[in-house]
Amino acid sequence: MKPLDLFSYAFKGLKDRRARSALTILGVTIGILAVVMLISNTQGFDQFLTDVLSRIGSNNIWIVPTKKSLKLTDTDVMKLMRLPGVKAASPFYLRRIFFRSGSIQEYANLIAVDPRVLKLILPDLELGEGAMLQPNDLGTASLGYKIAHPPEDPNKRVNLYSSVTVDIQEGSMVKSYTFMVGGIFKEFGSTPYLDVDKSVLITVNAARNIFKSTSYPSIVLVARSPDDVEPIINMLRQIYGDDIEIISPLTIVRHVKAILGNFSLFMLIVASVSLIVAGIGIMNTMIMSVMERTREIGVLRALGFSQKDIAAVFLTEAALVGVIGGILGVSTGVISSLAMGGVFSRMLQIENPSMTIERGLELSYSPVITPELLGMSFIFAVIVGLVSGLYPALKAARMDPVQALRTE
The arithmetic mean of pLDDT across residues 313-322, rounded, is 88
DSSP 221: E
Is pLDDT at 72 greater than 90 in this prediction? Answer: yes
Q: Cα dihedral sign for 81, 87, 90, 92?
A: negative
The arithmetic mean of pLDDT across residues 59-80, rounded, is 91
* Run of H or E including 286: helix 249-292
Q: Domain ranges in the chain?
A: 3-54+253-406, 60-224
Report the candidate in 308, 274, 268 with the shortest Cα–Cα distance to residue 384.
Answer: 274
The pLDDT score that the predictor gives to residue 191 is: 67
382-405 pLDDT, tens digit per residue, is 998 899 888 888 888 888 777 767
Is pLDDT at 355 greater than 50 in this prediction? Answer: no
Mean pLDDT across the chain: 84
The pLDDT score that the predictor gives to residue 76 is: 94
The more confident residue out of 349 and 106 is 106
SS3 content of the chain, % helix, strand, coil (to 5): 55, 20, 25
The pLDDT score that the predictor gives to residue 342 is: 63
The pLDDT score that the predictor gives to residue 408 is: 57
d(CA 296, CA 374): 37
Report the candidate in 279, 280, 283, 320 with the shortest Cα–Cα distance to residue 396.
Answer: 283
Report the candidate in 95, 128, 124 with the shortest Cα–Cα distance to residue 112.
Answer: 95
The pLDDT score that the predictor gives to residue 358 is: 46
CA distances to 22, 236, 282, 328 from 7, rounded to whole Å, are: 18, 70, 17, 19
The pLDDT score that the predictor gives to residue 291 is: 82
The pLDDT score that the predictor gives to residue 112 is: 94
The pLDDT score that the predictor gives to residue 207 is: 94
CA angle 112, 115, 119 (to 5 degrees): 110
The arithmetic mean of pLDDT across residues 339-361, rounded, is 53
Amino acid at 71: K
The pLDDT score that the predictor gives to residue 363 is: 56
Decide: 278 and 28 in contact? Cβ < 8 Å.
yes
The pLDDT score that the predictor gives to residue 361 is: 45
Decide: 166 and 105 in contact? Cβ < 8 Å.
no
Burial label for 226, CB within 10 Å (0-12, 13-18, 19+), is: middle
Report the candidate in 380, 378, 382, 402 with the shortest Cα–Cα distance to residue 390.
Answer: 382
120-158 pLDDT, tens digit per residue, is 888 888 999 999 999 999 999 999 999 999 988 888 899
Burial label for 200, CB within 10 Å (0-12, 13-18, 19+), is: buried
181-234 pLDDT, tens digit per residue, is 999 999 987 666 678 899 999 999 999 999 988 899 999 999 998 889 999 999
Alpha helices (H) in 57-173, listed in sequence order? 74-81, 115-121, 145-148
d(CA 186, CA 207): 23
The pLDDT score that the predictor gives to residue 350 is: 47
Amino acid at 141: A
The more confident residue out of 318 and 50 is 318
The more confident residue out of 20 and 74 is 74
The pLDDT score that the predictor gives to residue 290 is: 81
Beta pairing class for 173-185 and 218-223: unpaired
Query: For the chain, how many residues are written?
Result: 408
d(CA 365, CA 351): 17
269-286 pLDDT, tens digit per residue, is 877 787 888 888 888 888
d(CA 184, CA 199): 11
The pLDDT score that the predictor gives to residue 193 is: 63
d(CA 353, CA 333): 34
Please state, for a pLDDT cut of 70, what percent of the chain lies above it: 90
150: left (phi over 0), alpha (psi -120 to 50) or beta: beta
End-to-end Cα separation, the chain, in angstroms: 27
20-54 pLDDT, tens digit per residue, is 888 888 988 988 998 888 888 888 877 777 776 66
Lowest-pLDDT range, 35-44, 60-69, 104-113? 35-44
Question: How many Cα atoms occupy the beta-carbon half-sphere of 126 within 13 Å?
Answer: 4
Maximum CA extent, the chain: 101
Residues in CB range of 179: below 8 A, 6 or more apart: 139, 140, 141, 163, 164, 165, 166, 200, 202, 206
The arithmetic mean of pLDDT across residues 356-363, rounded, is 46
